[in-house]
Amino acid sequence: MAGGGKVKLDAKGVVIEYYTPRTGRRVLAVDNLDLQIYEGEFLAICGPSGCGKTTFLNAVDGLLPINGGEIRLDGKLITKPGPDRAMVFQQASLLPWRTVRKNVAYPLELRGQRSKEARDRVQRYISLVGLEGFEEAYPHELSGGMQQRANLARALAADPEILLMDEPFAALDAQTREFMQQELLKVWSQTNKTVLFITHQIDEAIFLADRVVVMSARPGRIKAIFDIDIPRPRTLHVKREPHFLKLMDDVWTLIEEEVRKSGQFLLDEAPAKAPAAVVED
C-alpha cells in the first residue's frame, strides 16, 4: 500500500502554533509538515514527547486550526470537523447512560438515521469488534478493552473516510493492549478503512502499520518514514522475529537522537532494542 494508490489525505506545508496568554509567547508546534496517506493505508506516527503528533491529528480532525499550509481529504480542504472523519481517543468516552447498542448507534442518530439499515449496520460493527451478546450492557459493566471495542464500533458505524486514532490502547494493561492490537488488525482488514494512528510505543506502530512516520522534536517535522515490509496477516509472534526487532531499533535510534538533541532527560544507557518509545505527545 505504501507509496502507491489514490492519495486519501494530503498535508502540505502544515504549520501549527500555540499562543500562551500567561507568557505572551507563541510556540511553534508543527513546522512545514508534508505527508500523504493513501486510500486503505494504515499509517502510524510516533516521536518524542511534545513533538506535535497529537496536535497534527487534531488538525486533521478539524478540531485545531492551522497557521500555514493546508490539509485535504479526498481533495477537499479541511477547515472544521466533519462526518468524513471519526476520532478514537485514549479513553473510550462512552455515554454511561447508554447501552453498547445505543452508544454505537449514537452518530447515526445524530444524522437522523434510524432505519432498519442503520440498525443492521450497528449490529454488524458490534459483531465485528467481538461484542455480540453485550449489546444491552452498560459501559460500567464492561472491561477497559471491551469499552474500547465499543468505542471503535461507534467510530466505524459512522462510516468515515478516515479513522483517526489517538493512543487508543494507552489506558489498557499490557496484555489487553497486545490483544487489542491483534483485534484492530482483524477489523481493519475487513473494513478497508484508511487509518491514521498516533502512538508513543514503537512496537505497536510497527506491528500495525504499512508505514511508520517518525517526527522530530518540537517543532514537529517528519524526520523519517519507514516502509514496514512485514507480510500480512500478522500475528503477535512477529514481534519476536529479528527483522521486527531491527526495525524497532532503527526507529528507536532516531527518536533517541531527537530526545537528546532537544535536551529532554534520557538515560545515558538506552536499551539496545527499546521495547517502547517515549512519553506520549
Would you state the cell numbers that stand for residue 147, as one nine-digit string? Answer: 469499552
Q: Where in the chain is the domain with CATH 3.40.50.300?
A: 1-84+162-281
Do β-strands 85-88 and 76-77 pair in parallel, antiparallel, or remain unpaired? Answer: unpaired
Which residue in the block uniquely carries the three cell numbers 459512522? 158
Please give the chain's pLDDT, 281 residues, in tens.
555 689 999 999 999 998 888 888 889 999 999 999 999 999 999 999 899 999 999 999 999 999 999 999 999 999 999 999 999 998 889 999 999 999 999 999 999 998 999 999 999 999 999 999 999 999 999 999 999 999 999 999 999 999 999 999 999 999 999 999 999 999 999 999 999 999 999 999 999 999 999 999 999 999 999 999 999 999 999 999 999 999 999 999 999 999 998 776 544 434 444 444 433 45
d(CA 115, CA 9): 31
Number of H helices, E strands in the chain: 7, 10
Residue 240: how many other CB atoms lie within 10 Å:
8
d(CA 129, CA 150): 7
What is the predicted pLDDT for the residue at 234? Answer: 96
Q: Is the peptide bond prior to 219 cis by the omega test (within 30 degrees of 0)? A: yes
Q: How far is CA 128 from the centre of its chain?
A: 19
The backbone region for 126, taken as left when phi is positive above 0, alpha when psi lies in -120 to 50, beta otherwise, is alpha
What is the predicted pLDDT for the residue at 275? Answer: 44
What is the predicted pLDDT for the residue at 269? Answer: 39
Task: Tell me the CATH architecture of domain 1-84+162-281.
Answer: 3-Layer(aba) Sandwich (3.40)
What is the predicted pLDDT for the residue at 18? Answer: 87
What is the predicted pLDDT for the residue at 162? Answer: 98
What is the predicted pLDDT for the residue at 277? Answer: 41
What is the predicted pLDDT for the residue at 199? Answer: 97
**Secondary structure E strands in the chain:** 7-20, 25-38, 42-46, 68-73, 76-77, 85-88, 162-166, 194-198, 211-215, 222-227
Q: Are 48 and 280 in contact (CB under 8 A)?
A: no
What is the predicted pLDDT for the residue at 257? Answer: 94
Would you state the cell numbers that stand for residue 125, as one nine-digit string? Answer: 460493527
What is the predicted pLDDT for the residue at 24? Answer: 83
